[in-house]
Amino acid sequence: MRALLRPQLFRARTSLRGMQSMTFGKDIPGYTAGDECKPGVIVLQEWWGVTDLVKEQATYLSEQGFRTLVPDIYKGKLGVTVEEASHNMETLDWGAAVDEICQAAAHLKDTGSPAVGVTGFCMGGALSLLAAQHCDNIVATAPFYGTPNGNPVPFWDPSSIGKPTLMQFGENDGLEGFADPATAEKVRDELAAGGADVQLYVYSGVGHGFMNSSPWPFKDYEEKAAALPAGGFSPSNPDVQAQAWSRLVEFLNKNM
Protein backbone atom coordinates (compact mmCIF):
# COMPACT_ATOMS: atom_id res chain seq x y z
CA MET A 1 0.00 0.00 0.00
CA ARG A 2 1.27 3.47 -0.84
CA ALA A 3 2.29 5.72 2.04
CA LEU A 4 -0.42 8.08 3.25
CA LEU A 5 0.02 11.63 2.06
CA ARG A 6 0.21 14.35 4.67
CA PRO A 7 -3.24 15.84 5.21
CA GLN A 8 -2.07 19.41 4.55
CA LEU A 9 -1.86 18.28 0.91
CA PHE A 10 -5.20 16.50 1.15
CA ARG A 11 -7.48 19.16 -0.32
CA ALA A 12 -4.96 20.31 -2.90
CA ARG A 13 -4.31 16.90 -4.39
CA THR A 14 -7.43 14.88 -3.86
CA SER A 15 -9.54 14.88 -7.02
CA LEU A 16 -13.24 14.11 -7.13
CA ARG A 17 -12.96 12.73 -10.66
CA GLY A 18 -13.51 9.20 -9.36
CA MET A 19 -16.54 10.17 -7.26
CA GLN A 20 -19.87 9.48 -8.95
CA SER A 21 -23.40 10.31 -7.92
CA MET A 22 -25.71 7.31 -7.65
CA THR A 23 -28.79 5.91 -5.98
CA PHE A 24 -29.11 2.71 -3.98
CA GLY A 25 -31.70 0.80 -2.02
CA LYS A 26 -35.08 2.53 -2.04
CA ASP A 27 -33.90 5.31 -4.38
CA ILE A 28 -31.55 6.84 -1.78
CA PRO A 29 -29.06 9.37 -3.21
CA GLY A 30 -25.35 9.07 -2.57
CA TYR A 31 -21.84 9.16 -3.99
CA THR A 32 -19.41 6.35 -4.67
CA ALA A 33 -15.78 5.80 -5.66
CA GLY A 34 -13.48 2.81 -6.09
CA ASP A 35 -13.57 -0.65 -7.61
CA GLU A 36 -16.66 -2.74 -6.92
CA CYS A 37 -14.56 -5.76 -5.97
CA LYS A 38 -12.82 -3.92 -3.12
CA PRO A 39 -13.96 -3.95 0.52
CA GLY A 40 -16.67 -1.34 0.97
CA VAL A 41 -16.51 1.58 3.40
CA ILE A 42 -19.56 3.72 4.12
CA VAL A 43 -18.48 7.30 4.91
CA LEU A 44 -20.97 9.32 6.97
CA GLN A 45 -21.27 13.09 7.00
CA GLU A 46 -20.86 15.68 9.74
CA TRP A 47 -23.94 17.68 10.77
CA TRP A 48 -23.24 20.15 7.93
CA GLY A 49 -24.31 17.59 5.30
CA VAL A 50 -22.50 15.99 2.38
CA THR A 51 -19.93 18.70 1.72
CA ASP A 52 -17.09 18.56 -0.79
CA LEU A 53 -14.79 17.66 2.10
CA VAL A 54 -16.82 14.52 2.89
CA LYS A 55 -16.58 13.50 -0.75
CA GLU A 56 -12.83 14.16 -0.70
CA GLN A 57 -12.44 12.02 2.42
CA ALA A 58 -14.32 9.18 0.70
CA THR A 59 -12.23 9.63 -2.45
CA TYR A 60 -9.08 9.49 -0.37
CA LEU A 61 -10.12 6.18 1.21
CA SER A 62 -10.90 4.79 -2.24
CA GLU A 63 -7.32 5.63 -3.22
CA GLN A 64 -6.12 3.50 -0.30
CA GLY A 65 -7.76 0.41 -1.82
CA PHE A 66 -11.37 0.60 -0.68
CA ARG A 67 -14.68 1.10 -2.40
CA THR A 68 -16.53 3.96 -0.73
CA LEU A 69 -20.15 5.03 -0.54
CA VAL A 70 -21.43 8.30 0.96
CA PRO A 71 -25.18 8.15 1.65
CA ASP A 72 -26.77 11.60 1.45
CA ILE A 73 -28.61 11.50 4.78
CA TYR A 74 -29.97 15.04 4.33
CA LYS A 75 -31.05 14.47 0.70
CA GLY A 76 -29.07 17.37 -0.70
CA LYS A 77 -29.54 19.85 2.14
CA LEU A 78 -26.48 21.66 3.51
CA GLY A 79 -26.33 23.59 6.75
CA VAL A 80 -24.33 26.72 5.95
CA THR A 81 -24.87 28.21 9.41
CA VAL A 82 -24.68 26.68 12.88
CA GLU A 83 -28.42 27.18 13.23
CA GLU A 84 -29.20 25.31 10.00
CA ALA A 85 -26.84 22.44 10.77
CA SER A 86 -28.21 22.13 14.30
CA HIS A 87 -31.78 22.11 13.02
CA ASN A 88 -31.02 19.44 10.41
CA MET A 89 -29.39 17.19 12.99
CA GLU A 90 -32.04 17.73 15.67
CA THR A 91 -34.90 16.98 13.27
CA LEU A 92 -33.22 13.96 11.71
CA ASP A 93 -35.17 10.72 11.88
CA TRP A 94 -32.33 8.61 13.30
CA GLY A 95 -34.16 5.33 12.78
CA ALA A 96 -34.73 6.09 9.10
CA ALA A 97 -31.11 7.20 8.73
CA VAL A 98 -29.82 3.94 10.18
CA ASP A 99 -32.12 2.00 7.85
CA GLU A 100 -30.65 3.87 4.88
CA ILE A 101 -27.12 3.05 6.05
CA CYS A 102 -28.11 -0.61 6.26
CA GLN A 103 -29.39 -0.35 2.69
CA ALA A 104 -26.03 1.14 1.69
CA ALA A 105 -24.23 -1.80 3.30
CA ALA A 106 -26.49 -4.28 1.53
CA HIS A 107 -25.88 -2.52 -1.80
CA LEU A 108 -22.10 -2.72 -1.38
CA LYS A 109 -22.23 -6.38 -0.40
CA ASP A 110 -24.70 -7.35 -3.14
CA THR A 111 -22.70 -5.64 -5.88
CA GLY A 112 -19.27 -7.08 -5.23
CA SER A 113 -17.66 -5.89 -2.02
CA PRO A 114 -16.52 -8.89 0.05
CA ALA A 115 -16.94 -7.03 3.35
CA VAL A 116 -18.34 -3.69 4.53
CA GLY A 117 -17.24 -1.27 7.23
CA VAL A 118 -18.41 2.18 8.25
CA THR A 119 -16.76 5.38 9.42
CA GLY A 120 -18.17 8.81 10.14
CA PHE A 121 -17.48 12.19 11.65
CA CYS A 122 -19.42 14.01 14.40
CA MET A 123 -23.07 13.09 13.68
CA GLY A 124 -21.69 10.50 11.28
CA GLY A 125 -19.62 9.02 14.10
CA ALA A 126 -22.75 8.50 16.17
CA LEU A 127 -24.54 6.98 13.18
CA SER A 128 -21.60 4.66 12.47
CA LEU A 129 -21.97 3.11 15.92
CA LEU A 130 -25.73 2.70 15.48
CA ALA A 131 -25.18 1.17 12.05
CA ALA A 132 -22.76 -1.37 13.51
CA GLN A 133 -25.46 -2.37 15.98
CA HIS A 134 -28.32 -2.66 13.49
CA CYS A 135 -26.77 -3.57 10.10
CA ASP A 136 -25.83 -7.23 9.77
CA ASN A 137 -23.71 -6.54 6.67
CA ILE A 138 -21.38 -4.16 8.56
CA VAL A 139 -18.43 -5.99 10.12
CA ALA A 140 -16.42 -3.09 11.58
CA THR A 141 -17.03 0.51 12.66
CA ALA A 142 -14.71 3.50 13.09
CA PRO A 143 -16.45 6.55 14.61
CA PHE A 144 -14.73 9.93 14.88
CA TYR A 145 -15.79 12.24 17.74
CA GLY A 146 -19.45 11.27 17.97
CA THR A 147 -21.59 8.82 19.95
CA PRO A 148 -25.35 8.20 20.09
CA ASN A 149 -25.34 9.33 23.74
CA GLY A 150 -27.48 12.42 24.21
CA ASN A 151 -29.47 11.89 21.01
CA PRO A 152 -33.08 10.68 20.67
CA VAL A 153 -32.12 7.11 19.85
CA PRO A 154 -33.76 4.70 22.31
CA PHE A 155 -32.58 1.77 20.15
CA TRP A 156 -28.92 2.38 21.13
CA ASP A 157 -27.37 -0.57 22.96
CA PRO A 158 -23.56 -0.61 22.80
CA SER A 159 -23.34 -3.90 24.68
CA SER A 160 -25.02 -5.68 21.74
CA ILE A 161 -22.57 -4.68 18.98
CA GLY A 162 -19.65 -7.05 19.51
CA LYS A 163 -17.79 -5.91 16.37
CA PRO A 164 -14.29 -4.46 15.92
CA THR A 165 -14.43 -0.74 16.72
CA LEU A 166 -11.91 2.08 16.33
CA MET A 167 -12.79 5.29 18.21
CA GLN A 168 -10.81 8.51 17.59
CA PHE A 169 -11.61 11.61 19.68
CA GLY A 170 -10.03 14.93 20.69
CA GLU A 171 -8.77 15.70 24.18
CA ASN A 172 -10.20 19.23 24.10
CA ASP A 173 -13.64 18.22 22.81
CA GLY A 174 -16.21 20.04 24.93
CA LEU A 175 -19.40 18.46 23.59
CA GLU A 176 -20.33 16.78 26.86
CA GLY A 177 -22.41 13.64 26.59
CA PHE A 178 -21.68 13.36 22.87
CA ALA A 179 -17.97 13.49 22.07
CA ASP A 180 -15.99 14.60 25.13
CA PRO A 181 -13.28 12.18 26.37
CA ALA A 182 -15.33 11.00 29.36
CA THR A 183 -18.22 10.01 27.09
CA ALA A 184 -15.85 8.29 24.67
CA GLU A 185 -14.35 6.26 27.52
CA LYS A 186 -17.81 5.32 28.79
CA VAL A 187 -18.89 4.07 25.37
CA ARG A 188 -15.59 2.20 24.94
CA ASP A 189 -16.17 0.38 28.23
CA GLU A 190 -19.77 -0.47 27.26
CA LEU A 191 -18.64 -1.82 23.90
CA ALA A 192 -15.91 -3.89 25.52
CA ALA A 193 -18.37 -5.28 28.06
CA GLY A 194 -20.41 -6.57 25.13
CA GLY A 195 -17.43 -8.38 23.65
CA ALA A 196 -16.31 -5.83 21.06
CA ASP A 197 -12.62 -5.55 20.21
CA VAL A 198 -12.43 -1.80 20.74
CA GLN A 199 -9.57 0.72 20.50
CA LEU A 200 -9.92 4.31 21.70
CA TYR A 201 -7.43 7.04 20.82
CA VAL A 202 -7.80 10.49 22.39
CA TYR A 203 -5.49 13.00 20.69
CA SER A 204 -3.91 15.74 22.79
CA GLY A 205 -4.05 19.34 21.67
CA VAL A 206 -7.13 19.00 19.44
CA GLY A 207 -10.86 19.32 19.95
CA HIS A 208 -14.02 18.42 18.08
CA GLY A 209 -13.83 18.09 14.30
CA PHE A 210 -10.06 17.62 14.16
CA MET A 211 -10.29 15.60 10.93
CA ASN A 212 -11.96 18.50 9.16
CA SER A 213 -9.18 20.11 7.15
CA SER A 214 -11.35 23.05 6.12
CA PRO A 215 -12.94 25.78 8.26
CA TRP A 216 -15.98 25.84 5.94
CA PRO A 217 -18.58 27.34 6.23
CA PHE A 218 -16.50 29.94 8.07
CA LYS A 219 -13.74 32.04 6.54
CA ASP A 220 -11.10 30.75 8.99
CA TYR A 221 -10.61 28.63 12.10
CA GLU A 222 -10.80 31.62 14.43
CA GLU A 223 -14.31 32.40 13.23
CA LYS A 224 -15.23 28.73 13.50
CA ALA A 225 -13.98 28.46 17.08
CA ALA A 226 -15.87 31.63 18.04
CA ALA A 227 -19.11 30.30 16.55
CA LEU A 228 -18.76 26.88 18.19
CA PRO A 229 -16.95 27.51 21.49
CA ALA A 230 -18.44 24.56 23.38
CA GLY A 231 -16.84 22.11 21.00
CA GLY A 232 -13.27 23.07 21.76
CA PHE A 233 -12.52 23.52 18.08
CA SER A 234 -8.91 24.17 17.08
CA PRO A 235 -6.98 24.81 13.87
CA SER A 236 -6.22 21.92 11.54
CA ASN A 237 -3.38 19.76 12.90
CA PRO A 238 -1.75 17.84 10.02
CA ASP A 239 0.29 15.55 12.31
CA VAL A 240 -2.78 14.36 14.23
CA GLN A 241 -4.73 13.96 11.01
CA ALA A 242 -1.95 11.87 9.45
CA GLN A 243 -1.83 9.56 12.45
CA ALA A 244 -5.60 9.20 12.54
CA TRP A 245 -5.82 8.43 8.81
CA SER A 246 -3.05 5.85 9.17
CA ARG A 247 -4.82 4.15 12.07
CA LEU A 248 -8.11 4.13 10.19
CA VAL A 249 -6.62 2.52 7.09
CA GLU A 250 -4.74 -0.04 9.18
CA PHE A 251 -7.94 -0.88 11.10
CA LEU A 252 -10.01 -1.29 7.94
CA ASN A 253 -7.37 -3.48 6.28
CA LYS A 254 -7.15 -5.68 9.35
CA ASN A 255 -10.88 -6.16 9.86
CA MET A 256 -12.18 -6.26 6.29
Q: Domain extents for the chain? A: 16-255
3-state secondary structure 105-145: HHHHHHCCCCCEEEEEECHHHHHHHHHHHHCCCEEEEEEEC
Q: Using alpha carbons, select from 3, 63, 15, 72 the residue that is nearest to residue 42.
A: 72
Average per-residue pLDDT in the chain?
Answer: 91
| Residues 60/10, Cβ–Cβ less than 8 Å | yes
pLDDT at 17: 64
Q: How many Cβ atoms from other residues are within 10 Å of residue 199's Cβ? A: 14
Considering only residues 44 and 229, tell me which one the structure prediction assigns the higher pLDDT: 44
pLDDT at site 202: 98
Report the C-alpha dihedral over residues 220, 221, 226, 229, rounded to 10 degrees.
Answer: 150
pLDDT band at 152 (very low <50, low <70, confident <90, very high): low
pLDDT at 4: 43
Amino acid at 63: E
Summarised one tens digit per residue, pLDDT across range 64-94 is 999 999 999 999 999 999 999 999 999 999 9
Contact 61, 24 (CB under 8 A): no
Check if the beta carbon of residue 44 is closer than 8 Å to that of residue 87: no
Segment 6-32 mean pLDDT? 74
**What band does 228 get if pLDDT is binned at 50, 70 and 90?**
confident
Percent residues over pLDDT 90 in the chain: 82
Q: pTM of the entire structure?
A: 0.93
Taking residues 9-23, report their average pLDDT: 67
Q: Which pLDDT tens digit goes with each residue over 32-68?
A: 999 999 999 999 999 999 999 999 999 999 999 999 9
The continuous run of DSSP H or E covering 221 comes out as helix 221-227
Indicate if the pLDDT at residue 118 is higher than 50. Answer: yes
Predicted local confidence at residue 36, as pLDDT: 95
pLDDT, residue 210, reads 95
Evaluate whether the domain defined by 16-255 bears CATH number 3.40.50.1820: yes
**Model confidence at 180, in pLDDT bands (50, 70, 90)?**
very high
